[in-house]
């Protein structure tokens, strides 16, 4: 998707070459209904099933730039929806990493999996879970990175507990994106970036 990549670079949000490569290899159109393919490369959120949306490319890239995902990372991905951001995460973690992707809308649970079948090199790096991530995923914890695509009132305590020291967590709260970095003593450095809109997190 060279057009959107160029636009995101010009807007100053896209800086990481690893994310550029992921955007080049993972086609956003593959995660949208056919009738939206002609607008797949527009920098806007688009509707998908279940009353949800596929996030604006600017927003997805902003979150990924804040996450600093590295090869080999173990990532908790909350609200995978169409699966586009999940595929980008799988690209970034590489063959030695793993993405645990959660979705509570049954229709989207299946669609996200189906979309990833188009990417047989990425799909094995992902474990899809059709359930709430409110309690995190202790079975696979601790995580290097945690990202949520749904707005929370407060980040659940298990997310904080299951993040490794030095780990990074990005999630929407209100009309802001929040970045939390876990320090060695268990406390968190927190940054807020206003001006974002997300669908609400569905609690269990």
Catalytic residue ranges: 55
| Alpha carbon distance 27, 16 (integer Å) | 18
Q: Is 128 helix (H, G, I), strand (E, B) or coil?
A: strand
Q: What is the DSSP string of 145-202?
A: EEEESSB-SS--HHHHHTEEEEEEEEEEETTEEEEEEE-TTS-EEEEEEE----PBP-
H or E element at residue 93: helix 84-93
Q: Which of 43, 73, 195 is nearest to 144 (CA)?
A: 73
For tokens 């876990």, name the residue: 182
Whether the CB-CB separation of 83 and 112 falls below 8 Å is answered with: yes
């Amino acid at each position: 998707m060279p057009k959107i990549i160029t636009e995101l670079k010009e807007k100053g949000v896209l800086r990481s070459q690893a994310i550029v490569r992921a955007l080049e290899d993972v086609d956003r159109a593959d995660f949208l209904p056919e009738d939206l393919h002609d607008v797949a490369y527009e920098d806007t959120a688009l509707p998908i099933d279940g009353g949800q949306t596929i996030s604006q490319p600017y927003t997805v890239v902003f979150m990924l730039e804040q996450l600093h995902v590295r090869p080999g990372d173990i990532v908790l991905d909350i609200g995978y929806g169409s699966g586009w951001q999940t595929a980008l995460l799988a690209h970034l973690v590489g063959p030695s990493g793993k993405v645990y992707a959660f979705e509570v809308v049954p229709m989207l649970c299946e669609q996200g999996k189906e979309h990833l079948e188009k990417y047989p090199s990425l799909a094995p790096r992902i474990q899809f879970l059709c359930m709430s991530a409110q309690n995190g995923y202790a079975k696979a914890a601790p995580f290097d990175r945690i990202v949520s695509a749904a707005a929370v009132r407060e980040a659940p305590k298990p997310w904080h507990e299951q993040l490794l020291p030095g780990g990074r967590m990005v999630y929407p709260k209100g009309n802001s994106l929040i970045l939390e970095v876990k320090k060695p003593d268990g406390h968190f450095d927190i940054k807020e970036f206003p001006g974002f809109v997300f669908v609400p997190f569905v609690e269990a």
